[in-house]
Structure 1
Amino acid sequence: MEVRTVKTTEELQDAFTIRKKVFVEEQGVPIEEEIDQFDDTATHFVLYHNHSPAGAGRFRILDGIGKVERICVDSSLRGLGGGKAIMSKIEDYAKEQGITALKLNAQTHAIPFYESLGYNVDSDEFMDAGIPHKTMKKYI
């Protein structure tokens, strides 16, 4: 598996393809909520497995804090290290940008995964796109 920082239109479309598969088709998130106005300015990442898109994520900087968003891995490849690889690539990118703190809004079922990467819950539960989430933070 390989994680790339998106540099081409094709790579961006690959990231959108896997996001749509996971969030829209699998989880029922409305497409207009999944693909939003922040996609134009975010830095995107795509995970490839056997030259096919297998995962994705995006990163933005808000008030000096890195915001990790839209982390997903194809259901057939979960548990094989792809999510960890995406997160590692995003964290390395954040460090290159001089960012020392990261936050993300985790679906509650994914909290143990993010905790294993050093993130800590920093909010009460809230709903986003009909799915329960909690905000998590990490200092890098």
Structure 2
Amino acid sequence: MVSTLAKLDTQNTVTIEVVDYVTYKRAIHSVRYAVFVCEQSIPAAFEIDRYDLVSQHVLALWEGCAVGTGRLTPEGRIGRVAVAKHLRHRGIGRCLMEKLLEVAKQQQHQEVILAAQHQAIPFYERLGFYQEGHIFKEVGIKHVMMRRSLI
């Protein structure tokens, strides 16, 4: 499953693909490691968890390189959404989320949830998510639960 993303310039296009975790785990984790471990100082031990093997993963590819990723768990929880720092604010995150929402609908989820980092709340609100509950800290970073109906 492939979809075309926004053009980064007049020549290059990013594609979003639903990928097999086992086949693409090196690419998935390279993006997540750069964003979560290197940029946000999250301990590397938290970057990979038991949900990776059972989740649907999406990957943003630009010129053959992984530049973004995200996943959807079987329970309908979106997570591990990350975009390479040098390519943020170009629509890649939005397109990753649109693909994850499409996958969730195909799996007949009626709603999806996610734990949004505090600074990303406006991004998720623009995608139709609403806040639920209080701000909490996870791995030292402020988060809030957010939800979106798919029906």
Indicate the RMSD between aligned Cα atoms, in angstroms. 1.1
Q: Please list the CA deviations of residues 12-45 of structure 1 after superposition, one character each: whole Å capped at 9, or x if unmatched.
A: 2111110001001110011111111211211111
Task: Choose the corresponding residue for 1:12, options 25, 45, 49.
Answer: 25
Q: Quick check: which has more Rg, 1 or 2?
A: 2
Number of equivalent positions: 137
The answer on 1:55 being equivalent to 2:68 is yes
Runs of 4+ in 1 over 6 A off after TM superposition: none
TM normalised by structure 1 equals 0.94
Q: CA deviation at 1:8?
A: 6.1
Q: Partners of 1:88 and 1:8 in 2: how far apart? A: 19
Query: Where do 5+ consecutive residues of structure 2 fail to align?
Result: 1-13
The equivalent residue for 1:113 is 123
**One-letter code aligned to 1:44:** H
The answer on 1:26 being equivalent to 2:36 is no
**One-letter code aligned to 1:7:** D
The answer on 1:91 being equivalent to 2:101 is yes
Q: Partners of 1:10 and 1:48 in 2: how far apart? A: 15
Q: CA deviation at 1:10?
A: 4.2
The equivalent residue for 2:57 is 44
The equivalent residue for 1:79 is 89
The answer on 1:128 being equivalent to 2:141 is no
- More helix per residue: 1
Q: Please list the CA deviations of residues 79-102 of structure 1 after superposition, one character each: whole Å capped at 9, or x if unmatched.
A: 000000100111111111111101
